[in-house]
Amino acid sequence: MLQAKNLTKKYGEHTALDQLNLTVNTGDIYCLLGANGAGKSTTINLFLDFVKPTSGCALIEGVEVAKHPVKTKEKIAYIPENLNLYAELSGLENLQYFVGISGKKYEKDDLIMFLNEVGLQESAHMQRIKGYSKGMRQKVGIAIALAKKAKVLLLDEPTSGLDPKASNEFSELLLKLKKQGTATLMATHDLFRAKETGTKIGIMKSGSLVDELSSTDINHTNLEKLYLAHMN
């Protein structure tokens, strides 16, 4: 569903991403770990066509992102660390707007169903987003992904700043999307969530993927040890 082939991004003399190769299949939750500047966000941005690759390519369902940015964006939902929603609109109005520009049309009751499905309390549906917590905004983001029927979910530090309860609720929503076949690529610092939620884990350092493993092949303690060993 999502593939990087020798994906490279340079800014002058600086190599932000160096010949990355990875694959995210249908139903995978691939967690990218690494320090700031390791290349995690650059990877996400290349799949979003926010930046162009220096060489190599990013593919979504076999289609090259840089050559077909509009076509590939139709398959994507994106949730960054701070999700940009319209502060003066309600959660329901934001959902209606963002789903509408993706070409999907739903009745109001259907949109409410999506908000209920992600666990956003009904009393918040018509409240302005500016009064939402970060966890509530992230739930609207997942509702948008559900309504868009996104095949690919790209996440950049989505649980940063969430309290444990909100972080756990977000992970449960990712697992719900996993069951629906969504392919998820998540850049994160959260080793615990990567182990608990991820199906595959990649560790990045200085723009390179230095390790890749299945989350079922390692426990929390050994994942932390492996991560720290790579960071030294």
Regarding whether 92 and 47 lie in a shared domain, the answer is no
Regarding whether 226 and 111 lie in a shared domain, the answer is no
pLDDT of amino acid 47? 97
Query: Other CB atoms closer than 10 Å to residue 12's CB: what's the count?
Result: 5
Residue of 41, 45, 78 lying closest to 153 (CA atoms): 78
Q: Could you tell me the pLDDT band of residue 160, with boundaries at 50, 70 and 90?
A: confident
The tens digit of pLDDT for each residue in 170-209 reads 899 899 899 989 999 999 999 999 999 999 999 999 999 9
Regarding whether 114 and 14 lie in a shared domain, the answer is no
Segment 65-83 mean pLDDT: 92
**Which of 149, 169, 194 is the endpoint of a domain?**
149
**Which of 103, 128, 149 is the endpoint of a domain?**
149
Regarding whether 156 and 196 lie in a shared domain, the answer is yes
Contact 122, 116 (CB under 8 A): yes
E strand or H helix at 101: helix 91-101
Q: What are phi and psi of 76, to 5 degrees?
A: -110, 145
pLDDT of amino acid 55? 97
- Tell me the CA distances in angstroms from 15 to 51, 55, 161, 183, 205, one per residue in order: 14, 11, 29, 27, 12
Contacts 24+ apart (CB under 8 A), 127-130: 127/90, 127/91, 128/87, 128/88, 128/89, 128/90, 129/85, 129/86, 129/87, 129/88, 129/89, 129/90, 129/91, 129/94, 130/87, 130/88
Query: Other CB atoms closer than 10 Å to residue 232's CB: what's the count?
Result: 5
Q: Is the pLDDT of residue 39 over 90?
A: yes
The tens digit of pLDDT for each residue in 93-128 reads 999 999 988 888 899 999 999 999 999 999 999 999
CATH number at 203 reads 3.40.50.300
pLDDT of amino acid 101? 85
The pTM assigned to this predicted structure is: 0.91
Conformation bin of residue 163: beta by default, left when phi > 0, alpha when psi is -120 to 50: beta
Tokens 């697992």 belong to 175
Beta pairing partners, 202: 32, 212
Regarding whether 158 and 71 lie in a shared domain, the answer is yes
Contact 29, 197 (CB under 8 A): yes
The parent domain of residue 219 ranges over 2-75+151-231
- Torsion over CA of 72, 73, 76 and 79, rounded to 10 degrees? 140
Cα(159)–Cα(117) distance, integer angstroms:
19
Count of domains for the chain: 2
Cα(80)–Cα(37) distance, integer angstroms:
16
Regarding whether 155 and 64 lie in a shared domain, the answer is yes
- Tell me the CA distances in angstroms from 217 to 124, 191, 220, one per residue in order: 40, 14, 10
